[in-house]
Amino acid sequence: MSSLVTPSDELLSFLKELPDMDIEAYLDAVSKPLPECFRINTLKLSEERIISLLRDRGWQFEKLPWVKTGYKLLNSTERGVGSSMEHMLGLIYIQGPISMLPAEVLEPAPRMIVLDLCASPGSKSTQIAQLMRNTGILVCNDVSSTRIKPLVANIQRCGVINSIITQSDGRYFHRWVREQFDRVLVDAPCSSLGIVSKDWTAANKYNEKISKRISKLQQSLLISAYECLKPGGLLVYSTCTIHPLENENVITYLLDKKKDAELLPVLVEGLRSRSPLEEWRDIKFSSEVKKCFKCYPYDNYAEGFFIAKIRKEA
């Protein structure tokens, strides 16, 4: 193999088990850095105004068709996007191109009540606030005290004023607020096998036992999120992994437990995607999982992602 990265034996044997996986293409894609992309933050200034400021500074970029205010950088900036004045002022938010998708799929709108159950560091919370035009109520929750700090910093930097930040274990969130939210996002903790180009340690750490354990945590988070959702509301579940136990399996679990949950198709223009698996090893998944969005890193030379959109019967 000509790839730059060498997978651990455990990762390699997992990849071999995926019937639709091209291992060489996967290793090639994750050997390359993710494309540099950003969102324009319309909570600070209009999109036109920010575009013109960036162009005046020599930035070249093109629109990402699947996100309202998402762009891909085409040239490198003098100091790097992360230390640019535009980033520090919150005019832009640096984010992976496919990571911008779950908040769009959630369809948050002004004056809604929205919960982001696993919110830190706030990429999707700040995007949701933007789509809500800073109105309504956005509850941004995370379990980790260390990760609450970057969440607060990003919320402040982006000028979000409709949010409440909570630190609690999302598995039990429904005990406090049952059926109160128009929209709930679960951007779940996962094995991160779709974004290993950011940090190869996730791939080195991969082991089957961890994925099985995370899958149980994801199931509990999703059930709690569903309990928090109003009848007629929308729930989005997303991960940046390619592991069927953390994706298709978790959605099948929800559909088995909650008979009033309906899976809606996630239709995306401009991105290559693939059909989720209906069975893996000896596990049969619900045939409904076909409606979810799934891509591997080499499908778009970007992140690997899984997104499910669920409606609770009204």
Is residue 28 a contact point for ligand SAM (CB under 6 A)?
A: no
- Footprint (CB under 6 A) of ligand SAM, residues 112-131: 117-124
Q: What burial class does residue 37 get, using C-beta atoms within 10 Å of its C-beta: 0-12 exposed, 13-18 middle, 19+ buried?
A: buried
188/286 with CB nearer ligand SAM = 188
30/202 with CB nearer ligand SAM = 202
Q: Which of 246, 264, 262, 238 is nearest to 314 (CA)?
A: 262
Among 90, 96, 136, 189, binds ligand SAM (CB under 6 A): 189
Question: Nearest approach, Cβ of 120 to ligand SAM (angstroms)?
Answer: 4
Question: Nearest approach, Cβ of 129 to ligand SAM (angstroms)?
Answer: 12
Among 7, 70, 96, 170, binds ligand SAM (CB under 6 A): 170
Question: Nearest approach, Cβ of 271 to ligand SAM (angstroms)?
Answer: 18
Using the rule CB under 6 A, give the single segment among 141-149, 175-183, 288-296, 300-308 that binds ligand SAM: 141-149
Choose, from 140, 228, 240, 292, the residue flagged as catalytic.
Answer: 240
7/189 with CB nearer ligand SAM = 189
Amino acid at 147: R
Rg (CA), the chain: 19
124/243 with CB nearer ligand SAM = 124
Question: Nearest approach, Cβ of 57 to ligand SAM (angstroms)?
Answer: 26
**Catalytic-residue membership of 140:** no
Question: Nearest approach, Cβ of 99 to ligand SAM (angstroms)?
Answer: 6
Among 68, 72, 147, 311, binds ligand SAM (CB under 6 A): 147
Q: Give me the DSSP letters along 192-214.
A: -TT-TTT-THHHHH--HHHHHHH
Using the rule CB under 6 A, give the single segment among 63-71, 164-172, 255-263, 269-277 that binds ligand SAM: 164-172
Q: Which of 59, 131, 70, 123 is nearest to 271 (CA)?
A: 70
Residue the block writes with tokens 């991960």: 239
- 261: which 2 tokens? 């949950």
235/286 with CB nearer ligand SAM = 235
Long-range contacts of 70-74 (CB under 8 A, 24+ apart): 70/37, 70/38, 70/39, 70/95, 70/97, 70/100, 71/37, 71/38, 71/39, 71/40, 72/35, 72/36, 72/37, 72/97, 73/35, 73/36, 73/37, 73/38
Residue the block writes with tokens 């309990």: 227
Distances from the Cα of 237 to the Cα of 15, 31, 88, 105, angstroms: 23, 27, 30, 10
Active-site residues: which are they?
A: 240
- Give the binding site for ligand SAM (CB under 6 A): 117-124, 141-144, 147, 169-171, 187, 189
